Amino acid sequence: MIKIEFAQKTHQGQTRDHNEDSIFSDAEMGLWIVADGMGGHAGGEVASCIVCESIPEMIKEGHSLKESIATTHHLIKAAPQNGRGIKGMGSTVVAMKLDETGYQIAWVGDSRAYLWDGQLHQLSTDQSFVQKLIEAKAITPEQARNHPKKNLILQSLGASQLPTIQVDSLRGDFKKESIILLCSDGLNNELTDDEIAALIDPFQPLQSVAKNLVDAANKAGGNDNISVILIKTLMDSQDTKGKSGYLDRVKSILSKKIT
């Protein structure tokens, strides 16, 4: 049997007077979302909230994760005309959805997904200016951390002037005792991957790990809002007969939340 345990935490950080991040977790739906808003209290906070409202609603209506994210781009752009938010507001998103064969992760912008299986692996690829420089071998990942344009993202929901948005995605299978980490850049801008990995202790309660990650990012500077969601799999050793009925098995869920 597969059990899912999750924990979440969001914090405004040390230098911001409000939190423009939004998070969503629903183990029954098998859906987790981190959204990092841009545009101030009247914009970014609204945009990220729309992300966490609209994606679950569209998935309930039968749309795929990628379709739901792509549609949310247009909903954010249209929201100011309906008296909600301001023109030019936007948000990143990284989301994970369980399905019949495992999980799908999709993202826009630079909010990240990691897999911890004893080691930390970045799953998502930032849609950012410095990532393009890394891919062109113009700079190293270490140099990217201090690059003056490290926060310049190439796509965001709502704020992009492009008629359509590129939603990147990947699929994966849960491994026994693995952990998926979804986070806004307030975490990984303050902590290196090695520092994040050192704080993921599988023997600690998951909510304690979430708190430790956010506390460490705040201690390192806390220059942005910080949001994390941790999703951990607990599998019985006898669960080795393929993947049929995956979601049926996931219905046996141990859910732990923190706010």
Cα 146 off chain centre by: 22
Residue environment code for 159-195, b if the CB has 16+ CB neighbours within 10 A, otherwise e = bbeeeebebbeeebebeeebbbbbbbbbbbbbbeeeb
Report how far residue 28's alpha carbon sits from residue 165's, in angstroms, rounded to the nearest whole number: 28
Average pLDDT, the chain: 90
Q: Are strands 2-11 and 93-99 parallel, antiparallel or unpaired?
A: unpaired
Secondary structure of residue 46 in the 3-state scheme: helix
pLDDT in tens, 71-95: 999 999 999 999 999 999 999 999 9
**Alpha-carbon span 198 to 85, nearest angstrom:** 39
Q: Is the pLDDT of residue 249 over 60?
A: no
Architecture of the domain whose range is 2-250: 4-Layer Sandwich (3.60)
Q: What is the pLDDT of residues 2-34, one digit of tens each?
A: 688 999 999 999 999 999 999 999 999 999 999
CA distance 195 to 188: 9
Q: Up-side HSE of residue 199: CA atoms within 13 Å toward CB?
A: 22
pLDDT band at 41 (very low <50, low <70, confident <90, very high): confident
Please compute the mean of the pLDDT values over residues 244-250 and round it to a whole number.
Answer: 42
**Helix boundaries (H) for the chain:** 44-60, 65-78, 129-135, 141-144, 185-188, 193-199, 206-219, 246-250
- What is the reported pTM? 0.89
Instruction: Please check whether residue 112 is in contact with residue 185, taking contact to mean a CB–CB distance below 8 angstroms.
Output: yes
pLDDT of residue 177: 79
- 163 DSSP 8-state letter: S
Per-residue pLDDT of 110-121, as tens digits, reads 999 999 999 999
